[in-house]
């Protein structure tokens, strides 16, 4: 990804810590992630393309939605779930070393973007009741108000938007 490949990434996140995290509980790890990686509401935050980055992205999303934007826990829970799905897709399907997370709050809506260097488009697949995988974009489609993909000269940005009540 142009401009992100050479950036050294903070270390110290374990899978055990990721398993203990819950979107309903604001914890110090969320604030620590904000301090280590940056605020995705202010800049695009580069994250290493590793499974444990999903936990970091969830924590960053949680602290931004609840503390920075002061939105509802229910909206935070849904946003955290959808961020996890987009990050999981970026880690599993793009072959990237790094991806970017960006969040924006505008009057009446929030927008979350995950940028990666692959130009391969995600595909919304039909989901059956007993399927154990492949539900990511299905959830994004059902829980967000809009979602899409913007192709870039070097990669793409997959995004979703959700309506919010004016604060």
Residue 28 lies in a domain: no
pTM for this entry: 0.79
Q: What is the pLDDT of residues 89-105, one digit of tens each?
A: 999 888 889 999 999 99
The pLDDT value given to residue 128: 63
Give 31-87 pLDDT, tens digit per residue: 888 899 999 999 999 999 999 999 999 999 999 999 999 999 999 999 999 999 999
Residue 31: which residues within 8 A CB-CB, separation 6 or more? 63
* Domain membership of residue 66 as a residue range: 41-120+135-163
Tell me if 98 is assigned to some domain: yes
Instruction: Return the pLDDT at 17.
Output: 38
Structural domain count, the chain: 1
Residue 108 placed within a domain: yes
Do the Cβ atoms of 91 and 57 come closer than 8 Å? no
What the block records as the tokens of 114 is 């995950």
Structure-model confidence comparison of residues 126 and 109, the more confident one:
109
Quick check: 111 and 150 in contact, CB under 8 A? Answer: no
Res. 28 pLDDT band, cuts 50 70 90? confident
* Residue 151 domain-assigned (yes or no): yes
d(Cα 162, Cα 34) in Å, to the nearest integer? 22
Q: 113-145: per-residue pLDDT in tens?
A: 999 999 988 877 776 665 555 667 888 999 999
CATH number at 48 reads 3.30.565.10
């Amino acid at each position: 990804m142009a401009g992100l490949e050479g950036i050294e990434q903070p270390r110290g996140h374990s899978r055990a810590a990721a398993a203990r995290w819950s979107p309903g509980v604001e914890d110090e790890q969320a604030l620590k992630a904000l301090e280590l990686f940056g605020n995705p509401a202010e800049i695009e935050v580069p994250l290493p393309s590793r499974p444990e980055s999903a936990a970091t992205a969830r924590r960053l999303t949680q602290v931004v939605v609840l503390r920075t934007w002061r939105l509802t826990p229910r909206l935070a829970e849904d946003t955290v779930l959808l961020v996890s799905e987009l990050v999981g897709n970026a880690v599993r399907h793009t072959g990237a070393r790094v991806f970017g997370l960006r969040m924006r709050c505008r009057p009446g809506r929030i927008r979350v973007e995950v940028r990666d260097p692959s130009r391969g488009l995600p595909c919304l697949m039909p989901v059956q009741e007993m399927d154990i995988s492949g539900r990511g974009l299905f959830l994004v489609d059902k829980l967000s108000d809009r979602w899409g993909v913007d192709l870039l000269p070097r990669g793409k940005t997959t995004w979703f938007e959700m309506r919010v009540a004016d604060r």
